Structure 1
Amino acid sequence: MIYHIISKPAWMEAQENGVYEPPSLHTDQFIHCSTEEQVSGVANILYAGRTDLFVLGIQEDQVEAEIVYEDLYELNQLYPHIYGGLNLNAVHKVYRLEPDDEGEFAFQPSTELEYSG
């Protein structure tokens, strides 16, 4: 399973369109994703202060586009990138991602609330 952080409005739009194609697909040519262990760090660096976030749990073997694990920013970590639009049938779970009382994100799929809207 790989994960992608998404805003609630972007997730609603993807569901209307039947495919997820964020701006990064056009600027970077891929969709940024993370492993379970990387989600919290990414969220805390890029999304501090946000309260409208979800995490998509994506089943890799159901993604139609190519997935490449790579370290494009010399962080000494391989991040999964989806090189194409994300077919929504590959999304198996949608979690609400909420900061704690100190504003920090600590993603743990086993304890996160699943979104069912």
Structure 2
Amino acid sequence: MPIIYHVTTAAEWTAAKANGYYESPSLKAEGFIHCSQDHQVAGVLERYFTGKADLVKLVIDTDKLTSRFVFEWSPSTEDTFPHVYGTINVDVVVDVIEL
């Protein structure tokens, strides 16, 4: 069970559960949902979520994803990150961790 992570707000996760899928604004803007490996989450929080509250970390089982995901190079951080090209079906989220 390969695991990736996505940080979002508790409100966005609640809406996703009601819809049956999760869709972040980046999917429309960039064509994919940004995710992380475990060791990358702290840096993502520092870069993009400083001062924000009510955050959760979605723990995603990639074996169950219905959308394609790939690892891609990010020149701004000089690291490879998982990107999900489509919505995230809620049944792939095996845990939700409050941050």
With normalisation by structure 1, the TM-score equals 0.79
Aligned residues: 97
Distance of 2:77 and 2:46 partners within structure 1: 16
Equivalent residue for 1:73?
75
Within-5 A mapping of 1:46-65: 46-65=48-67
- 1:6 paired residue among 5, 8, 15: 8
1:10-68: CA deviations, max 9, x gaps? 11110111111111111110000000000011001110111210000000111111111
Within-5 A mapping of 1:83-102: 83-97=85-99
Q: CA deviation at 1:73?
A: 3.3
Counterpart amino acid of residue 11 in structure 1: W
User: 3-state SS of the aligned residue for 1:82?
Assistant: strand
Equivalent residue for 2:37?
35
Report the identity percentage.
38
Q: CA deviation at 1:76?
A: 2.0
- Greater per-residue strand proportion: 2
Distance of 1:46 and 1:74 partners within structure 2: 13
1:17–1:45 Cα change, 3 Å: same
Task: Calculate the aligned-residue CA RMSD, in Å.
Answer: 0.9
Counterpart amino acid of residue 28 in structure 1: E
- Greater per-residue helix proportion: 2
Distance of 2:27 and 2:17 partners within structure 1: 17
Greater relative contact order (Cα < 8 A, sep 6+): 2
After TM superposition, the runs of 4+ consecutive aligned structure 1 residues lying more than 6 A away are: none
With normalisation by structure 2, the TM-score equals 0.93
